[in-house]
Structure 1
Amino acid sequence: MAPKRKHKITVKNKKIKKKINKSKPKKLKAFSKKQKPKLPLKNTKMKVQKKEEVEKVIKKIYDEKEKLEMQRLYTILSEPYARQLLIDLAGENALEIVRNFYGNLSDEDLAKKLKLKISDVRATLNKLHSEGLVNYMRDKDNETGWYSYSWALNRDRIRQWVEIRTREKIDLVNGNLGDHYFCSSCGPTSVVRFEIATDTSFKCQKCNKNLEFLDEDGIAELTDVRLRR
């Protein structure tokens, strides 16, 4: 009798296993691998287009602002004495570098653009930076450990700097005794004492134009209001 009972138990177990297998949810595996619902392709394209349009508008505003600021800078650099101040500060390459500065540039970019030696460009930038006329940002390459520099022109500071240097020159002249003469074309850098003016036959040493007596009207002319715009 014992063997028969074992046979019946085995059959029951098989039936139970079959029932258990049938009762398992068939879609359980598929459900676990189910991905998150994707956005319609049309909506994705619209978002990309809107982002591109916003970026274009921002770039246009930035470009217009840059052009306006460069126009103001060119107005300042149209004055001979302003140009001479920059040359005296940073050398003969200063004007070309300042005039061709647009956005953020590396010293390598400026050297290629102006066809100058990179060492000369760096020397000029460092001198301009000493007066705050340019600013820089430094980034480190984590792979090489090297630093790269990105430079930007401080146009507002250039305007202020030219005005300050002009006032300093006038104050220096006013503090000295005796008569002074100047060239209306060359500005404050052309101011000389009477003794020097007589040695040059009252001619400007830079442009050979006639020198004018420096009175109150002459001082007002040298501190031109265009520098304050």
Structure 2
Amino acid sequence: MDPIEETLNNPAIRAYLHRMVGDEGLNLLERFPREGEHSDEELAASTGINLNSVRHTLYTLYERRLAEYHRIKNNETGWLTYLWQLRTDHIADALREDMSLVLDKLSRREKYEEENDFFICKDCHLIFTFPQAMNIDFKCPDCQQPMGHFDNEVLLKALKERIVAIKKSLGHA
């Protein structure tokens, strides 16, 4: 099985790529010629996908190092042609990098949840930190109803479990 097909057959990687490039991008990946380098115009013509969508997908993949190009210049016209190829061998690095970013965001959110005490309006479901609630006399600014304490233990537990799972996936646990 070729590397692109193998990559696209993995449900987790397919979902990751779908979030990154959408339906048309996945369509391009499935139909991307397996050998050689190809211009965006060639890819659009051979796949039937809109040229702008092809370019958008290629640039998005390039940002994650999942595609690369080299340019050639037409000496008569001065036009540059970009020849593209996929780099599915970099998918693990891209996933690891994105998971590290998610881990950082979740860790910051965990710290925020641990360091703050929260209050909620039972009617409007607006949530405020203790200092925010204190500044509005523990009354909802929308409906003026008194706010009650909000227990964020379920959220904290879920955050901690997700952080542990990501750390384990990254080999940090």
What TM bracket, shorter-length normalisation?
0.5 to 0.7
AA aligned opposite 1:93 = E
**Which residue number corresponds to residue 127 of structure 1?**
60
Distance (Å, rounded) in 2 between the aligned partners of 1:146 and 1:220: 46
Pairing partner for 2:38 from 105, 120, 127 = 105
User: Equivalent pairs: percent with the same residue?
Assistant: 24
3-state SS in 2 of match to 1:116: coil
Contact 1:166 1:222 in 2 (8 A): no
TM-score normalised per structure 2: 0.55
Distance (Å, rounded) in 2 between the aligned partners of 1:217 and 1:141: 51
**Post-superposition CA distance 1:154-181 (Å, at most 9, x none):** 12222210122123323432342359xx
Distance (Å, rounded) in 1 between the aligned partners of 2:170 and 2:31: 25
| Counterpart mapping for 1:18-57 below 5 A | none
Pairing partner for 2:26 from 83, 87, 95 = 95
Cα 1:115–1:194 change in 2 (3 A) is: farther
**Which residue number corresponds to residue 219 of structure 1?**
165
| RMSD of aligned residue pairs (Cα, Å) | 3.5
TM-aligned CA deviation for residue 72 of structure 1: 4.3
TM-score normalised per structure 1: 0.44
Contact 2:25 2:53 in 1 (8 A): no
Distance (Å, rounded) in 1 between the aligned partners of 2:58 and 2:31: 13
Contact 1:133 1:155 in 2 (8 A): yes
Distance (Å, rounded) in 2 between the aligned partners of 1:222 and 1:94: 30
**Post-superposition CA distance 1:89-143 (Å, at most 9, x none):** 4444222223333232221222123211112211221222122221111112223
Distance (Å, rounded) in 2 between the aligned partners of 1:175 and 1:213: 10
Distance (Å, rounded) in 1 between the aligned partners of 2:3 and 2:61: 18
AA aligned opposite 1:219 = A
AA aligned opposite 2:24 = N
Pairing partner for 2:84 from 140, 148, 151 = 151
Q: Which structure 1 segments of 5+ residues have no match?
A: 1-66, 180-192, 196-211
Contact 1:111 1:118 in 2 (8 A): yes
Cα 1:71–1:222 change in 2 (3 A) is: farther
**Which residue number corresponds to residue 114 of structure 1?**
47
Q: Which structure 2 segments of 5+ residues have no match?
A: 115-152
